[in-house]
Amino acid sequence: MSHPRKLRVAVLFGGRSAEHEISLLSARNVVEALDRDRFTPVLVGIDKNGRWLLQEEALLLGAARDPRLARLNQSAPDVALQAHPGESGEAALTVGGAASQPIDVVFPVLHGPLGEDGCVQGLLELAGVPYVGSGVLGSAVGMDKDVMKRLLKEAELPIVPHETVRRIGWERARAEVLERCERLALPLFVKPANLGSSVGVTKVKTRAALAEAIDLAFTFDTKVVVEQGIEGARELECAVLGDEEPSVSTVGEIVVDHPDGFYSYAAKYIDEHGATTRVPADLTEAESRAVELLALRTFSVLEGSGLARIDFFMSKDRQVYVNEINTLPGFTAISMYPKLWQASGVPPRELVARLIDLALARSERRRKLRTST
């Protein structure tokens, strides 16, 4: 009796982003969760110069869980992605100039610019290879907090007041920009428009600290979002899984107990006591259902596909606001996306398998579309 061929899953991680190290930790957990009866992993690390390098599984799985210690093997052979002209739509990886290895699907575990923003997704579309997660448009929209908020506002979904600052405007008219931002009530959160994991984010408690926070954010991006904070707000999160008819997880909550005063990079990844998660969140049944429906609506409005984590704020008067969508949410050992699905009855092995199946099904649907009149 012949056994079906195992699918070769290229797991892409690292990347040219400030979230490079978090991506390595996420990739480790995705690889650990792969069902080896169905899938064979091919590990491809992208270094901070953009080189694609074949990585060893033992090295990745044995690496430290502290992002400050996470590293790629820089001496590994180079990898090139090669489109496959065959009808199967397969692509291949050429390793160190040697014979090519076919791959069936790519699982991008990339966070931040040049990985989560549609760039890699566009490359994979051109190569004709199925991939996990949102397409080019959904990825780009999900990465850019400014464009994201414009679409949420147009769809009449609740968001906090904010201002967008562009570098040229900041350099030419700082006083005018500050005056515009100061119309927002304190505290303020200053964020690079295209980054995640709370990199470059500052909580501003005084008007005097605003300019320095904007300067810091501009070291990470050319566009900055200044948001009005909600004093005493609760941070809620919901996970979405699916494509045209997505499912939603139970609602979780992040309880922050860190000197930064918000869910910062240090609170997330460095200080083991910086934050705790509460799954399910302490909400009424009606409140939980409202958040879940809002998560599904946000996923649809922002062209999500495959997976996403939607983050919310809940004010003291229990009003809920959409904070953002994460189209390639963290998969680390402490990340909320796999935790929320685990609590909803979908363990990591099943979750990863379903994501790959969704990618293959979407690719098959797109392959059947007409390309000529």
Residue with tokens 């982003």: 17
Residue 350 lies in a domain: no
Q: How many CB atoms lie within 10 A of CB 179?
A: 10
Cα–Cα nearest to 240, from 325, 151, 353:
325
320 & 270 share domain: yes
Please tell me the distance from the alpha carbon of residue 339 to that of residue 77, in angstroms, as a whole number: 34
The answer as to whether 11 is a domain residue is: yes
Same domain, 37 and 129: yes
How far is residue 346's CA from residue 344's CA, in Å, rounded to a whole number? 6
Is 309 found in the same domain as 254? yes
Residue 142 counted as domain residue: no
Residue 141 lies in a domain: no
> Is 118 part of a structural domain of the chain?
yes
Any domain includes 279: yes
- As for how many domains the chain has, the answer is 3
Tell me if 322 is assigned to some domain.
yes
**CATH at 304:** 3.30.470.20
Q: Is the dihedral of CA 106, 109, 110, 116 positive or negative?
A: positive
How confident is the prediction along the chain (373 residues), in pLDDT tens digits per residue?
A: 445 789 999 999 999 887 888 899 999 999 999 999 999 999 999 999 999 999 988 888 876 666 676 778 787 888 888 876 444 556 888 887 777 888 999 999 998 888 899 999 999 999 989 999 999 999 999 999 999 999 999 999 999 999 999 999 999 999 999 999 999 999 999 999 987 656 789 999 999 999 999 999 999 899 999 999 998 899 999 999 999 999 999 999 999 775 655 555 555 555 566 678 999 999 999 999 999 999 999 999 999 999 999 999 999 999 999 999 999 999 988 899 999 999 999 999 999 999 999 999 999 888 888 777 7
pTM, whole model, 2 decimals? 0.89
Pair 15, 113 in one domain = yes
**Which CATH number do you get for residue 185?**
3.30.1490.20
List the domain range (segments joined by +) for residue 183. 161-228
| pLDDT score for 197 | 54
Instruction: Examine the domain organization and report whether 213 and 182 are in the same domain.
Output: yes
